[in-house]
Amino acid sequence: MDKTQDSKSRSIRGIVPENHPRRESILVRERLVEAMEREVVVPQGLIAQGRGECFDYLIGEKTRDFAERALEVAAVLLIEAKNPVISVNGNMAALVPREIVELADAIPAKIEVNLFYRDEIREKAIEKVLREAGAREVLGVGEDASETIPELFSQRRRVSKRGILSADVVLLGLEDGDRTEALVKMGKKVIAIDLNPLSRTSLTASVTIVDNVIRAIPALREKVLKMKSLSREEREKLLKGYNNRDVLRGAMKFMSERLAQLSLDL
């Protein structure tokens, strides 16, 4: 088949009616499809987006109290970390580039590109997106990703010496389970943003924010600013009272009850 056809845009951004019941959701999808055409997102990232959409639908597309609790503790961990790093993949760069930079500035934290499907074209495309969104430094691109973490089979193992390798707290969004496990085994605190409370990432992370990155990243910045005004004792109390399994159970229970309610309304 003629390969020149591959680059043809399939975007329907311009033709989604203003009154379409799923307009917002469709426009987010289109943002990812366009990002794939710019090499920022890979096809597998689109499938991951779809899985997320389903779980987001089940929580009613809102930041719920189980996410609020995780956001508060995540903010405390990030503020108190010696070397906090925000790990960015293609989907996050496509969906919330400016919000990532604003969060990194508020903490402050480093930003590192980390990809399952790593190649230099993608790394640089994502770096470009982040720099255009205001990032002054982007780790994990090219030679900077020269260190490795023990892992099963993906290019996720390649990390920056000043970034994820030496980080004590790592914030991940939309991640694979193998990588989360590897980072936790290295003794790092891992904060995951994952809409699926049943994923290995969710079950393995130190703190799991069951929410859409589109809402969670700006909400996390708000919590960081708020937690900065708390005393060390108040923060300590939040950390001590936190149980990630309870949060995941809360998310699953919420989804279960919502489905039961929707079935009654049918």
Q: Is 243 in the site for a second copy (CB under 8 A)?
A: no
DSSP collapsed to 3 states, the chain: CCHHHHHCCCCCHHHCCCCCCCHHHHHHHHHHHHHHHCCCCCHHHHHHHHHHHHHHHHCCCCCCHHHHHHHHHHHHHHHHCCCEEEEECHHHHHHCHHHHHHHHHHCCCEEEECCCCCCHHHHHHHHHHHHHCCCCCCECCHHHCCEECCCCCCHHHEECCCCHHHCCEEEEECCCHHHHHHHHHCCCEEEEECCCCCCHHHHHCCEEECCCHHHHHHHHHHHHHHHCCCCHHHHHHHHHCCCHHHHHHHHHHHHHHHHHHHHHHC
Burial class (CB in 10 A: 0-12, 13-18, 19+), 65: exposed
Q: From the CB of 253, what's the least distance to a second copy, in Å? A: 5
Are the C-beta atoms of 199 and 208 separated by less than 8 Å? Answer: no
Q: Is 118 in the site for a second copy (CB under 8 A)?
A: no
Structure tokens at 200: 């290995």
Please select the residue that binds a second copy; options are 82, 121, 143, 231, rule is CB under 8 A. Answer: 121
Residues 223-242 that bind a second copy (CB under 8 A): none
Per-residue x/- marks for a second copy, 71-90, CB under 8 A?
--------------------
Residues 177-206 that bind a second copy (CB under 8 A): 196, 198, 200, 203
- Is residue 213 a known part of a binding site? yes
Q: Is 47 in the site for a second copy (CB under 8 A)?
A: yes
- Is residue 212 a known part of a binding site? yes
Residues in contact with a second copy, counted by CB under 8 A, come to a total of 56
Please select the residue that binds a second copy; options are 5, 82, 187, 231, rule is CB under 8 A. Answer: 5
Q: Is 33 in the site for a second copy (CB under 8 A)?
A: yes
Please select the residue that binds a second copy; options are 18, 43, 143, 187, rule is CB under 8 A. Answer: 43
Nearer to a second copy, 75 or 248 (CB): 248
Q: From the CB of 122, what's the least distance to a second copy, in Å? A: 9
Nearer to a second copy, 160 or 196 (CB): 196
Rounded to 10 deg, the angle between the 213-227 and 65-80 helix axes is 50
Q: From the CB of 71, what's the least distance to a second copy, in Å? A: 20
Q: Is 13 in the site for a second copy (CB under 8 A)?
A: no
Binding residue positions for ATP? 29, 51, 194-196, 200-201, 212-213
Binding interface with a second copy (CB under 8 A): 1-7, 10, 12, 15-17, 21, 29, 32-33, 36-39, 42-44, 46-55, 57, 117, 121, 125, 152-153, 196, 198, 200, 203, 245, 248-249, 252-253, 255-257, 259-260, 262-263, 266
